[in-house]
């Protein structure tokens, strides 16, 4: 039986899709058969970040409506053997999804994969609700900024009360906090919330801290999940996060201001 | 009325179908004296139920051999007890004639759809006020997140996990929070001025007892902000004391 992971946040633009792509790819890199599902119907982006936008034929809504089979709609990643993407529909809106339709697809995916990573849309409405409803674990993506923290807190409340596990009285969804766009320099200047502040407010397990990095934008534009860029700090941080997700104890990195050496100053950061 | 008024096409009325709940009194015997006595007892149980209550008199279940019914007397008897007869349901020839004579509508005999109703015997005048019932406290052990609301009705509320900003705790009794408290806490929401709030780490957006409140702007200035506190009401001032 597969594990259903939802990547969610409440707030938009915090890095949900980047995280979904990175975590899903990381799981596949470690040998787990993984599918990443884009729930952002109408605003699909995952295919771009994964670099498979030219190969989308059928999408999520087609499968829900029975216009295509799941195997027709799954897009196989060109880099990794056991990684697949299920794209969202660009021409429809969130109302095209129904709970029954999503449940059918999730159940089918559960049988064929080890991990199903659901990339949630922003907000707390239908799309986001359906993305998290069937989840076993949740990665709550948060920026070190008060409004993002507040929205994540709201989302955590919904995960604890409006998911299938909550409604059936089963064991609650396991929650992980992923802090993205973290800039230690700005934290020391007091311009950004620190890791401890966010951890204290949200009171859930810290899965990882992803430093603000040029590599993320570059990777997005190239359609390569940033985790594949193992030279970059963000790629390494995502790699650590995947290890922690799989139960490994890995110390947190990139939390402190790096002293820049002369060479570094001369040749610039990567 | 002028000719022009009569030509006005604006409709004066509208016919509508409607389902009304109406009490049906089904007579089992043609015995007005006993009816008077038994009806009196019923009315005493629930006087409010029997004031100007619309009624359909069902005579169709009367046994054949019980003689002619004095409908006029029956109706005035009902009226004495606060029941106003709207119509009669009858199958016997005599009853139908009597009803027509009184200009009362006659309904066809019953289908099988009614069920006997008994006016709830609950409002038997309570001789002494009921003992206040002890309701178990509501205990919450998982975090209360922003946007969530927890209400302990008629009871105390005890929270053992953090309460986030934007969350709301309500209780008719006291509120206890044994973790950081960053949301709103409203104790004694039904006006219990004796209710209290206990916080292990007070960083609340709002604290209120029986409608008297302080918001974060005032609370932040309090030297006990972030400390373990005990909040009570004296007069209409919230007192915040160290626990």
Question: For A182-191, what is each residue's pLDDT tens digit?
Answer: 999 999 999 9
Reported as a pLDDT band with limits 50, 70 and 90, residue A268 is: low
B150 vs A: CB within 8 A: no
Mean pLDDT of A250-266: 75
**CA torsion, ordered A5, A35, A63, A164, to nearest 10 deg:** -10
Q: For chain B, what is the mean pLDDT?
A: 84
pLDDT computed for residue A29 by the predictor? 96
Question: For A99-140, what is each residue's pLDDT tens digit?
Answer: 999 999 999 999 999 999 999 999 999 999 999 999 999 999
pLDDT computed for residue A205 by the predictor? 94
Q: Among B142, B144, B164, select the one facing A201 at the smallest CB separation.
A: B164
A170 vs B: CB within 8 A: no
Reported as a pLDDT band with limits 50, 70 and 90, residue B233 is: very high
In the Cβ-directed half-sphere of B106, how many Cα atoms lie within 13 Å?
19
Rounded to an integer, what distance in angstroms lies between the CA atom of residue B196 and that of residue B208? 9
Order of all β-strands in the sheet with A75-76: A75-76, A83-86, A34-38, A115-119, A3-8, A137-142, A174-182, A205-211
Rounded to an integer, what distance in angstroms lies between the CA atom of residue A54 and that of residue B35? 87
pLDDT computed for residue B124 by the predictor? 54
Query: Looking at CA atoms only, how far is residue B1 from chain A in angstroms?
Result: 58
- Of A150-164, B73-87, B162-176, B190-204, the least confident: B73-87
Cα distances from B159 to residues A157, B144, B151, B176, B213, in angstroms, run: 15, 8, 11, 6, 20
Question: In this structure, are residues A125 and A155 in contact, taking their beta carbons and an 8 Å threshold?
Answer: no
Q: Among A150, A160, A161, select the one facing B165 at the smallest CB separation.
A: A150
Question: For A24-47, what is each residue's pLDDT tens digit?
Answer: 999 999 999 999 999 999 999 999
Q: For residue B179, what is the enclosing H or E element?
A: strand B175-181
pLDDT computed for residue A270 by the predictor? 47
Q: Give strand pairing partners of A7.
A: A119, A139
The reply to whether CATH 1.10.150.120 applies to domain A3-267 is no
ipTM of the complex model: 0.78
Question: For A190-226, what is each residue's pLDDT tens digit?
Answer: 999 999 999 999 999 999 999 999 999 999 999 999 9
pLDDT exceeds cutoff 50 at A94: yes
pLDDT computed for residue B40 by the predictor? 83
Q: For chain A, what is the mean pLDDT?
A: 93
Rounded to an integer, what distance in angstroms lies between the CA atom of residue B203 and that of residue B167? 12
pLDDT exceeds cutoff 80 at B17: no
pLDDT exceeds cutoff 60 at B4: no
Question: For A164-175, what is each residue's pLDDT tens digit?
Answer: 999 999 999 999
Contact partners, residue A214, CB within 8 Å, separation at least 6? A269, A270
Q: Among B142, B166, B182, select the one facing A160 at the smallest CB separation.
A: B142
Question: For A61-88, what is each residue's pLDDT tens digit?
Answer: 999 999 999 999 999 999 999 999 999 9
Nearest to A116 by CA among A234, A6, A13, A263: A6
Mean pLDDT of B45-66: 78
Query: Which top CATH class is B138-242?
Result: mainly beta
Cα distances from A239 to residues A14, A29, A207, A225, A245, in angstroms, run: 18, 10, 11, 11, 10
Question: In this structure, are residues A202 and A156 in contact, taking their beta carbons and an 8 Å threshold?
Answer: yes
Residue A85 token pair: 């993407």
Q: For residue A234, what is the enclosing H or E element?
A: helix A233-245
Residue B123 token pair: 């409002």
Q: Given an 8 Å threshold on Cβ–Cβ distance, is B148 in contact with A161? A: yes
Residue listed under structure tokens 């009853």: B95
Fill in the DSSP letter of residue B89. E
Residue A227 token pair: 């985790």
Rounded to an integer, what distance in angstroms lies between the CA atom of residue B150 and that of residue B189? 12
Query: Looking at CA atoms only, how far is residue A151 from chain B in angstroms?
Result: 8
State the pTM of this model.
0.69
Residue B2 token pair: 């002028």
Mean pLDDT of B179-205: 95
pLDDT exceeds cutoff 80 at B119: no
Nearest to A209 by CA among A244, A170, A158, A252: A252
Query: Which top CATH class is B23-107?
Result: alpha beta
Domain boundaries, chain B: 23-107, 138-242
- Of A61-70, B73-82, B105-114, B208-217, the least confident: B105-114
Chain A residues with beta carbon closer than 8 angstroms to that of B144: 157
Domain boundaries, chain A: 3-267
User: Is beta strand B149-152 parallel, antiparallel or unpaired with respect to B168-171?
Assistant: parallel
Helix A146-161 and helix A126-133, axial crossing angle in degrees, nearest 10: 60
Residue listed under structure tokens 């008994």: B118
Reported as a pLDDT band with limits 50, 70 and 90, residue B35 is: confident
pLDDT computed for residue B158 by the predictor? 97
Nearest to A204 by CA among A247, A268, A155: A155
Rounded to an integer, what distance in angstroms lies between the CA atom of residue B50 and that of residue B34? 18
B226 vs A: CB within 8 A: no
Q: Given an 8 Å threshold on Cβ–Cβ distance, is B182 in contact with A201? A: yes
Q: Given an 8 Å threshold on Cβ–Cβ distance, is B143 in contact with A201? A: no
Rounded to an integer, what distance in angstroms lies between the CA atom of residue B162 and that of residue B16? 56
Q: Which residue of A has its CA nearest to B161?
A: A203
A147 vs B: CB within 8 A: no
Would you tell me which residues 199-228 of chain A have a C-beta closer than 8 angstroms to some C-beta of chain B? 200-203
pLDDT computed for residue A243 by the predictor? 97
Known binding residue A24? Answer is no
pLDDT exceeds cutoff 90 at B53: no
Chain B residues with beta carbon closer than 8 angstroms to that of A201: 164-165, 182
Reported as a pLDDT band with limits 50, 70 and 90, residue B118 is: low
């Amino acid at each position: 039986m597969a594990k259903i992971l939802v990547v969610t946040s409440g707030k938009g633009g915090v890095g949900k899709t980047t995280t979904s792509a990175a975590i899903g790819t990381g799981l596949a890199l470690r040998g787990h058969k993984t599918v990443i599902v884009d729930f952002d119907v109408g605003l699909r982006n995952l295919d771009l970040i994964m670099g498979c936008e030219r190969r989308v034929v059928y999408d999520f809504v087609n499968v829900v409506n029975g216009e295509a089979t799941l195997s027709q709609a799954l897009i196989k990643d060109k880099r990794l053997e056991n990684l697949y993407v299920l794209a969202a529909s660009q021409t429809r809106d969130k109302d095209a999804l129904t709970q029954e339709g999503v449940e059918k697809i999730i159940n089918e995916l559960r049988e064929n994969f080890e991990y199903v990573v659901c990339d949630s849309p922003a907000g707390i409405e239908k799309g986001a609700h359906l993305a998290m409803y069937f989840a076993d674990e949740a990665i709550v993506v948060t920026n070190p900024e008060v409004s993002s923290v507040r929205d994540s807190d709201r989302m955590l409340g919904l995960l604890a009360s409006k998911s299938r596990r909550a409604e059936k009285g089963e064991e609650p969804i396991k929650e992980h906090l992923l802090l993205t766009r973290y800039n230690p320099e700005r934290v020391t200047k007091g311009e950004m919330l620190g890791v401890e502040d966010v951890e204290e407010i949200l009171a859930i397990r810290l899965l990882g801290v992803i430093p603000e990095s040029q590599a993320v934008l570059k990777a997005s534009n190239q359609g390569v999940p940033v985790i594949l860029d193992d030279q970059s700090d963000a790629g390494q941080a995502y790699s650590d996060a995947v290890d922690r997700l799989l139960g490994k104890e890995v110390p947190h990195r990139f939390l402190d201001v790096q002293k820049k050496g002369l060479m570094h100053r001369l040749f610039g950061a990567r | 009325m002028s000719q022009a008024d009569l030509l006005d096409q604006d409709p004066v009325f509208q016919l509508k179908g409607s389902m009304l709940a109406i009490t049906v009194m089904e007579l089992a015997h043609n015995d007005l004296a006993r009816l008077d006595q038994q009806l009196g007892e019923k009315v005493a149980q629930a006087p409010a139920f029997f004031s100007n209550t619309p009624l359909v008199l069902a005579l169709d279940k009367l046994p054949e051999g019980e003689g002619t019914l004095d409908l006029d007397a029956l109706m005035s008897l009902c009226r004495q007890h606060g029941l106003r007869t709207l119509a009669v349901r009858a199958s016997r020839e005599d009853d139908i004639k009597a009803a027509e004579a009184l200009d009362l509508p006659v309904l066809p005999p019953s289908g099988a759809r009614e069920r006997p109703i008994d006016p709830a015997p609950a409002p038997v005048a309570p001789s002494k006020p009921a003992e206040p019932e002890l309701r178990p406290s509501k205990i919450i052990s998982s975090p209360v997140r922003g946007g969530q609301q927890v209400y302990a009705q008629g009871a105390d509320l005890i929270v053992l996990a953090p309460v986030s900003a934007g969350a709301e705790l309500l209780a008719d009794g006291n509120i206890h929070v044994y973790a950081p408290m960053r949301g709103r806490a409203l104790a004694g929401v039904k006006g219990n001025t004796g209710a209290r709030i206990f916080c292990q780490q007070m960083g609340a957006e709002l604290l209120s007892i029986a409608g008297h409140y302080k918001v974060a702007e005032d609370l932040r200035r309090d030297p006990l902000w972030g400390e373990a506190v005990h909040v009570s009401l004296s007069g209409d001032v919230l007192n915040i004391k160290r626990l």
